[in-house]
């Protein structure tokens, strides 16, 4: 959902380069330099207003996090949260998440979160869905062999498409939830703004976690 323009967002972004990056290509392979300490790096593609990635960083100080957002207004709202909290393990990116391989080096990322992505419901829009095979290829390239992908949505059609897309790509599922908030895994689940809104309306939240085949190949080599 596109937000209304926030006149204060761009000046806020320009005045806080220590927290948000507008030219992520410059840090490809060097993201750890922007954090207080080196740690496994997790990214959220399409962070929206930033609640999820901010709460994740606060809950997991032993990991580093990056939230990516294309909308200036949404990135500005997320940045407000970071300016207030000053989390040493959180960085933000204002850019199009479709360029991940230009933002991150091969194997630089430990995990990727996709939360309530645009479903692009028309058949001709399938290539724009963040679980389409071309995006999966980017995730596989930037993610370490032991990394994982986590995806949540309220849209059943997008979830079904994603299950098929990941399966056809050869990914292995670690878990699939058709009603996350009524499952044991709901405890400790960190929500996005949309997730809280939808769940309060009684809408089931769908979730999957998966990894690429190279993780299994690495495991077999070790064994």
* Residues with catalytic function: 118
How far does the chain reach from its first CA to its final CA, in angstroms?
Answer: 46
Angle value at C-alpha 194, between 46 and 165, nearest 5 degrees: 55
177: its two tokens: 């939830």
Phi/psi at 65 (nearest 5 deg)?
Answer: -135, 145
Beta-bridge partners for 45: 68
Give the closest residue to 177 by CA, choosing from 162, 193, 192. 162
114: its two tokens: 């996709």
Report the C-alpha gap between 186 and 176 in whole angstroms. Answer: 13
Total Cβ atoms within 10 A of residue 38? 10
């Amino acid at each position: 959902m596109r937000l209304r323009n926030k006149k204060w967002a761009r000046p806020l972004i320009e005045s806080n380069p220590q927290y948000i990056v507008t030219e992520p290509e410059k840090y490809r392979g060097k993201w750890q330099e922007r954090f207080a300490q080196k740690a496994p790096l997790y990214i959220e593609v399409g962070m929206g207003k930033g609640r999820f990635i901010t709460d994740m960083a606060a809950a997991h100080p032993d990991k580093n996090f990056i939230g990516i957002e294309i909308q200036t207004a949404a990135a500005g709202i997320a940045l407000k949260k970071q300016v207030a909290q000053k989390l040493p393990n959180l960085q933000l990116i204002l850019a199009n998440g479709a360029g991940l391989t230009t933002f991150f080096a091969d194997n630089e990322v430990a995990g990727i979160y996709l939360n309530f992505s645009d479903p692009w419901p028309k058949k001709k829009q399938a290539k724009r869905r963040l679980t389409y095979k071309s995006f999966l290829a980017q995730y596989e390239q930037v993610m370490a062999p032991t990394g994982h992908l986590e995806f949540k949505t309220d849209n059943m059609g997008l979830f079904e498409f994603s299950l098929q897309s990941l399966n056809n790509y050869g990914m292995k599922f670690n878990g699939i939830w058709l009603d996350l908030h009524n499952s044991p895994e709901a405890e400790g689940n960190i929500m996005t703004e949309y997730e809280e809104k939808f769940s309060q309306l009684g809408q089931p939240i769908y979730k999957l976690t998966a990894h690429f085949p190279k993780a299994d190949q690495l495991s077999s080599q070790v064994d």
